[in-house]
Amino acid sequence: MPYLIHLPHCGLKIPTQFLNDYYLSKQELENNIYEYCDIYTDEIFEKMFKKFGGVKNEYSRLFFDPERFSDDNQEEMYKKYRLGWFYENTILDKKRLRSLNNKDLIKKYYDEHHRQLNDLTQHKLDTFNQCTIIDCHSFSDREYWFLNKTSDFPDICIGYEDYHIDKELIEIIKKEFSEYKIGLNTPYSGSLVPMRYWQKDKRVKSVMIEINKRVYTKEDNKTKSKNFIEIKNKIDNILTKITK
């Protein structure tokens, strides 16, 4: 079917050869990695990934973040906070994260991730003449030094761009999570589209599903809560509905 799953932030790994680049203690680095990981999203969206295929990033976003523009001049999070595809600052406190010496080497990991995403998108287009990317995330409603929490964040955030919208999929997601507080393009907006097709090819659609960590983890943002299975079941229900 013409769906493609993207799991950009579920990874926790940093290759051993780059660990000495980081200025943090082992515990500080681990705390930042877990805090900014979309923890368990690979389990929540597991059936979708197995059904449709896609790209799953096994590395921490503190190593590279595939959801940011490759050109730092295009990336607002880089220009404002030095948090582009290559993070220069930490998450929990405003302090330097790592050396820039290996940035060019690490860029190869970013480029390979997007090569796979572009190639799989093209394969879906060649096969079905359409492709809908489901961009799978979670988020925390804690405050960070670069993000002030000004209001209650929703339980579920659905993101999209009008040019690449899949209205039918959005309605299915809204209905499945109807008893939860849903935000449309809030607190996060848009949904990833590979650059080869972004704002160029309407056959490529994309919908982001962001699940607030408070819905499925305990206070530590790391341990599964009793509601984890319900959230996973709801995502599986969405899979059932779009494959009918």
Q: What is the rounded radius of gyration, in angstroms, for the C-alpha atoms of the chain?
A: 18
Whole-angstrom Cα distance, residue 13 to residue 146? 24
Whole-angstrom Cα distance, residue 20 to residue 135? 31
Q: What is the pLDDT of residues 4-55, one digit of tens each?
A: 999 999 999 999 999 999 999 999 999 999 999 999 999 999 999 999 999 9
pTM, whole model, 2 decimals? 0.96
pLDDT for position 2: 97
Please name every residue paired with 211 in a beta bridge, in sequence order, or none if there are none. Answer: 138, 156
**Mean pLDDT along residues 147-158:** 85
Range(s) of the domain holding residue 112: 3-242
pLDDT for position 142: 84
Q: Which CATH number covers residue 202?
A: 3.40.630.40
Q: Total structural domains in the chain? A: 1
- Cis-peptide, bond into residue 187, ω within 30° of zero: yes
Residue 48, token pair as written in the block: 């979708």
**Mean pLDDT along residues 74-88:** 96
Q: Which residues contact 18 (CB under 8 A, 6 or more apart)?
A: 63, 102, 105, 106
Q: What is the pLDDT of residues 178-225, one digit of tens each?
A: 999 999 999 999 999 999 999 999 999 999 999 999 999 999 989 999
- According to DSSP, residue 165 is labeled -
Q: Is the pLDDT of residue 150 over 70?
A: no
User: What angle separates helix 167-176 from helix 228-242, to the nearest 10 degrees?
Assistant: 140
Mean predicted lDDT score pLDDT of the chain: 96
pLDDT for position 148: 73
Q: Which residue has the tokens 């000004």?
A: 150
